[in-house]
Amino acid sequence: MASRTSGKGSLGTAGTAKRAGRTQGPAKKAAPAKKAVAKKAAPAKKAPARKAAAKKTAPKPAPSPTGGVYRLVRALWLGTAHGVGAVFRSIGRGAKGLDPAHRKDGLALLLLGLALVVAAGTWSHLQGPVGDLVEMLVTGAFGRLDLLVPILLGAVAVRLILYPEKPEANGRIVIGLSALVIGVLGQVHIACGSPGREDGTGAMQDAGGLIGWAASKPLVFTMGEVLAVPLLLLLTVFGLLVVTATPVNAIPRRLRQLGVRLGIVDPVYVPGEEDGSDDERYDEQWREALPERTRRSSARRSETDGVYDADQAEGEALAKRRRSRKPSAQPAMNRTMDAVDVAAAAAAALDGAVLNGMPPSPVVADLTQGVSTDRDREPTGTPVPGARSAEKAPAGERRGEKSTTSSGDGVPDLTKPVPERTGALPARAEQLQLSGDITYSLPSLDLLERGGPGKTRSAANDAVVASLTTVFTEFKVDAAVTGFTRGPTVTRYEVELGPAVKVERITALTKNIAYAVASPDVRIISPIPGKSAVGIEIPNSDREMVNLGDVLRLADAAEDDHPMLVALGKNVEGGYEMANLANMPHVLVAGATGSGKSSCINCLITSVMVRATPEDVRMVLVDPKRVELTAYEGIPHLITPIITNPKKAAEALQWVVREMDLRYDDLAAYGFRHIDDFNHAVRTGKAKTPEGSERELSPYPYLLVIVDELADLMMVAPRDVEDSIVRITQLARAAGIHLVLATQRPSVDVVTGLIKANVPSRLAFATSSLADSRVILDQPGAEKLIGKGDGLFLPMGANKPTRMQGAFVTEAEVAAVVQHCKDQMAPVFREDVVVGTKQKKEIDEDIGDDLDLLCQAAELVVSTQFGSTSMLQRKLRVGFAKAGRLMDLMESRNIVGPSEGSKARDVMVKPDELDGVLAVIRGETAS
């Protein structure tokens, strides 16, 4: 076996040696195996050396002097090219950070300079190479119309300078001008005889130029001049309409407006068309309430971003407002306004608020003077032009219902009337209502400050993108930053993963990312809702403030006139966040001290005061801390003075429960399922009281209950507070009662499971621990917020919260809005809330939480006339200590006598006096 192996090894070695140098002799078969291995390795090492020696012996060509010069020139050229390229690349990188306004100004000045050069070449026939080039290009392309090219370039430059904030119209203007120039040059070329290339360049320059020849030649060749001229004329008209943004159906109206401006045509009122002067005045007032610039949320980088036209949104909002301000039915032209018309106008004007402080209609300025709107004016046969209704949409229509009520004479009412009640109405306390002769003016949005425009990108964002890319490269993660959306507080960077890369690879780098960007507050969203990307939220080094006035000036806020629409803030994508409390329908606000919770409550209350009248919304404010909500003392929206005593707050919540039950009694009696439907029926006169009833139906306002610190209430009366909150949150939505609970200690003993289950909307600000975040949101995230308004909003039905920066309102703004509301009217408080609190105040403090047991014990002892502690133990199933305490309480109230050892106590109260004794124990009679 050894000889065979050695023989094979020798053969292999000999073969290798023969192939390498072909000088090695044949291997010996009888050689030992060790020698064979040695011989095998030796030739393998010597072969490369011999090759190298063979190469060294080859003669080298002599160096050529021309080759060295060529290499030197080539090196100099490449070095110069690299240097110039580096300079231009650095300039380009600097141009990326240039302000867009400077870019537009630079383009405008470039066009203006080009216009001057073209004007010098075409108007004054500039001599030299520049003049020859201008004449060859401009005159050759535009022909006889070359004199208009400088004017056209100058007009475009002036527009870019005067209107830099409207880039969305540039594409439309370019398309329109192109169509206009092509159509005109084609017609000019045909009018000059349609010269061709065979006629020479001079003939084409005296006609429509190269553009005119290219536009007219195919048409003339295929259709003839008879059809070519009309087609080019239509192209010219199309270009003119596109440039002026005028649809074909709007041409008569534009011509009439132009004639009115030039003084050629007298302004004539056209039925169905708005009064121009009134609309201009209304537009000016409304534009003051709109923001100068509104930025929409940025879309994905891979998709085409939609351009937001602020002027278009403003125009649409104004148009919708005008349609809502039109009266549904005006009095006939040939009759005098009677009492019915005046009553209808008064109901329409007093039903809702006067928008943005506008004066009421002259028709309802003084309802005490009968049908006349002025004491010294007699009724005439012309309608009052100022009788424009300020009526808001009924509540039923706000929720998508359409009314089919007749708006003209002779048209039947197709709605099913509500049957009048023939039986007795449910017992009802005084309804929340205002006196009918009060016209309430809403505070102007000018009382709220405007904020500056938000940033969309900064150098800090680019630095963070570079840091994230470096982290992914160092840890060998196949991921890339594809874009980011900047918010006022944080910026969310979108990261797309490569194939077969786990999301956990990104989440595991949280601490490394925080170290790279020098920020401990890094939050990773995996994935971003609706996108195939992982979001990394990193705080901005230059935070921005979100003003409440900017949110309320939005076109969306102007179009929605629901009184419970409130401003929240601005999300991480740069879009404003608003919420309707009627749809939430209850919200839990929680956060540590300094997180922005109190500012959020101030924004909610201020939003309601700015948008709603006391007839629309009434409020119950609970402020156990006594300093947070005192600024709102005396506003007419309050139904009771601000409650600072926790015991009174518990009683106020019980009153809200009673109010809810009474509202449901009315809904059941009239057959409605929501308070909006009931209010709509009352306003339209379909819900009526039975004959002989002294009650007067009026719409129910929304009732907003705000508790600023829930923890204090739960410490004083946890059982009563929890029961009231649970009942309100379970049932009060259809009754128009909504609850806002705020706390800075979101522990499980404050926000119990029953409260969480019935409060679906959550607003979490920065918390001190992960456990608090789980209590509020049922998920982590709030513990990583950075405070000062940075929050997570989780509305009802949403799976993941939205990060936002809460709006901020200053104390001066709050004071101005509160003073305006106080000047309009004084608050009208409900007396039964205060009375109920005074009645409950008579309960002795020594009873504590044993009121129900004490009443049962008193009833048992008085009815049996046997005062025994052991009987109380058996009947009430309590211990000896509790039974003895109940017996001592009854002794102190003279229900039983003193103890006589083992004998039963004497009962001092007769059975017929039991009701009075129980009333005294419950505190229902004041001493």
Of 139-143, 736-740, 907-911, least confident by mean pLDDT is 139-143
pLDDT in tens, 814-842: 999 999 999 998 888 887 775 544 444 45
pLDDT band at residue 496 under the 50/70/90 scheme: very high
pLDDT at 368 (0 to 100): 35
Hey, is 925 helix, strand or coil? coil
Helix (H, G, I), strand (E, B) or coil at 747: coil
Per-residue pLDDT band for 398 (boundaries 50, 70, 90) equals very low
The pLDDT confidence band at residue 174, using thresholds 50, 70 and 90, is confident
Predicted local confidence at residue 113, as pLDDT:
87
- If pLDDT is split at 50, 70 and 90, which confidence band does 416 have? very low
What lies within 8 Å, CB to CB, of 909 at 6+ separation is 862, 894, 895, 917
Q: Which of 335-339, 352-356, 644-648 has the lowest mean pLDDT?
A: 352-356
pLDDT computed for residue 378 by the predictor: 38
Mean pLDDT of the chain: 75
Question: Are the C-beta atoms of 677 and 671 separated by less than 8 Å?
Answer: no
Q: Given pLDDT bands bounded at 50, 70 and 90, which one contains residue 55? A: very low
**Tokens read off for 628:** 């947070």
**What is the spatial distance between Cα 863 and Cα 271, in angstroms, rounded to a whole number?**
82
The lowest-confidence range among 19-23, 157-161, 434-438 is: 19-23
Q: Quote the percentage of the chain above a pLDDT of 90.
A: 27
Cα separation of 564 and 647, whole Å?
28
- The pLDDT assigned to 15 comes to 43
Distance CA 729, CA 737 (A): 9
Please state which of the ranges 46-50, 125-129, 463-467 shows the lowest mean pLDDT: 46-50
Q: Tell which wins on pLDDT, 148 or 285.
A: 148
Q: How far apart are CA 705 and CA 721, in angstroms?
A: 13
Q: Once rounded to an integer, what is the mean pLDDT over residues 625-634?
A: 90
CA distance 609 to 248: 45
H-helix or E-strand containing 492?
Answer: strand 490-497
DSSP code for 595: S
Higher pLDDT, 833 or 296: 833
Which residues are paired to 595 by β-bridges?
A: none
Residue 291 has pLDDT above 70, yes or no: no
Could you read off the pLDDT of 517-554 as tens digits, one per residue? Answer: 988 889 898 888 888 899 999 998 888 889 999 999 98
Q: Determine the pLDDT at residue 837.
A: 44
Of the two residues 117 and 360, the one the predictor is more confident about is 117
Residue 444 tokens read as 């102007």
- What pLDDT, on a 0 to 100 scale, did the predictor assign at position 64? 57
Which helix (H) or strand (E) covers residue 534, if one does?
A: strand 534-539
Higher pLDDT residue, 576 or 304?
576
Q: How confident is the model at residue 632, as a pLDDT?
A: 94
DSSP labels, 297-321: PP--TTSPPPPP-HHHHHHHHHHHH
Q: What does the alpha-carbon distance between residue 325 and residue 878 come to, in Å, rounded to a whole number?
A: 68
Confidence check: pLDDT of 901 > 50: yes
Residue 792: strand pairing partners: 764, 803
Task: Using DSSP, state whether 162 is helix, strand or coil.
Answer: helix
Closest CA to 139 of 193, 185, 197, 187: 185
**By mean pLDDT, which of 157-166, 188-197, 878-887 is the weakest?**
157-166
Query: Is 709:716 a contact under the CB 8 Å cutoff?
Result: no
CA distance 105 to 565: 41
Flag whether pLDDT at 170 surpasses 90: no
Pure H helices in 206-290:
209-223, 225-244, 251-262, 276-287
* pLDDT confidence bin for 648, thresholds 50/70/90: confident
Q: Under a CB-based contact definition with an 8 Å cutoff, are residues 546 and 566 in contact? A: no
Q: What's the Cα-to-Cα distance from 189 to each of 196, 210, 228, 381, rounded to whole Å? A: 10, 9, 11, 63
Reported confidence tier of residue 452, pLDDT bands at 50, 70, 90: confident
Residue 602 to residue 609: CA distance in whole angstroms: 11
Sign of CA dihedral 255, 261, 267, 271: positive
Note the pLDDT of residue 254. Answer: 80
Q: If DSSP codes are grouped into helix, strand and coil, which group holds residue 688?
A: coil
Tell me the pLDDT band of 646, cut-offs 50, 70 and 90. Answer: confident
Going by C-alpha positions, the residue among 522, 492, 563, 440 that lies closest to residue 781 is 522
> In angstroms, how far is the first alpha carbon of the chain from the final one?
125
pLDDT at 67: 64
Q: Helix 851-864 crosses helix 869-876 at what angle (to 10 degrees)?
A: 120
Does the pLDDT of residue 386 top 70, yes or no? no
Whether the Cβ atoms of residue 178 and residue 239 lie closer than 8 Å to each other: yes
pLDDT bracket for residue 258 (50, 70, 90): confident
In whole angstroms, give the CA distance from residue 921 to residue 918: 5
Amino acid 694: pLDDT: 78
Q: How far is CA 489 from the centre of its chain?
A: 15
Task: For residue 720, give the 3-state DSSP assignment.
Answer: helix
Confidence of residue 893 (pLDDT cuts 50, 70, 90): confident
pLDDT at 315: 54
pLDDT exceeds 70 at position 418 = no
**Which of these, 322, 356, 390, lies nearest to 611 by C-alpha position?**
356
| Statement: residue 666 has pLDDT above 60 | yes
Sequence-ordered list of residues with C-beta below 8 angstroms from that of 347, at least 6 positions apart, any chain: 683
Counting Cα atoms < 13 Å in the Cβ hemisphere of 495 gives 34
What mean pLDDT is predicted for residues 598-605? Answer: 94
Write out the E strands in 103-208. Answer: none
Confidence of residue 13 (pLDDT cuts 50, 70, 90): very low
pLDDT higher than 50, residue 466: yes
Decide the pairing of beta strands 490-497 and 617-622: unpaired
Residue 503 has pLDDT above 70, yes or no: yes
Q: Which of 82-86, 87-91, 567-571, 648-652 has the lowest mean pLDDT?
A: 87-91
Lowest mean pLDDT across 8-17, 32-41, 370-379, 610-619: 370-379
**Bridge-partner residues for 484, per DSSP?**
493
pLDDT at position 800, please?
A: 87
Q: Which residue has the tokens 């110039």?
A: 84
Residue 267 is predicted with a pLDDT of 67
- Count Cβ atoms below 10 Å from residue 819 Cβ, excluding itself: 13
- Could you count the other beta carbons within 10 Å of the beta carbon of residue 688? 16
168 falls in which pLDDT band (50, 70, 90)?
low
Residues in the chain: 927
pLDDT digits (tens, 9 = 90+) for 578-599: 999 999 999 999 999 889 999 9
What is the pLDDT at residue 65?
58
Provide Rg for the chain, Cα atoms.
43
Residues 6+ apart with CB under 8 A from 227: 219
Question: Domains of the chain (ranges plus CATH)?
Answer: 2-50 (no CATH), 108-243 (no CATH), 339-371+385-391 (no CATH), 459-539 (3.30.980.40), 559-670+707-834 (3.40.50.300), 842-922 (1.10.10.10)
Choose from 36-50, 55-69, 293-307, 632-646 the range with maximum mean pLDDT. Answer: 632-646
What element of type H or E holds 565? strand 565-571
- Distance of alpha carbon 747 from alpha carbon 719, whole angstroms: 16
Q: Tell me, what's the pLDDT at 472? A: 93
According to the model, what pLDDT value does residue 32 have?
44
Assign 707 to helix, strand or coil: strand
- The yes-or-no verdict on residue 277 having pLDDT over 50 is no
Give the pLDDT confidence score for residue 364 in this predicted structure: 34
Residue 312, pLDDT score = 55
Burial 65-95 (b: 16+ CB within 10 A, else e): eeeeeeeeeeeeeeeeeeeeeeeeeeeeeee
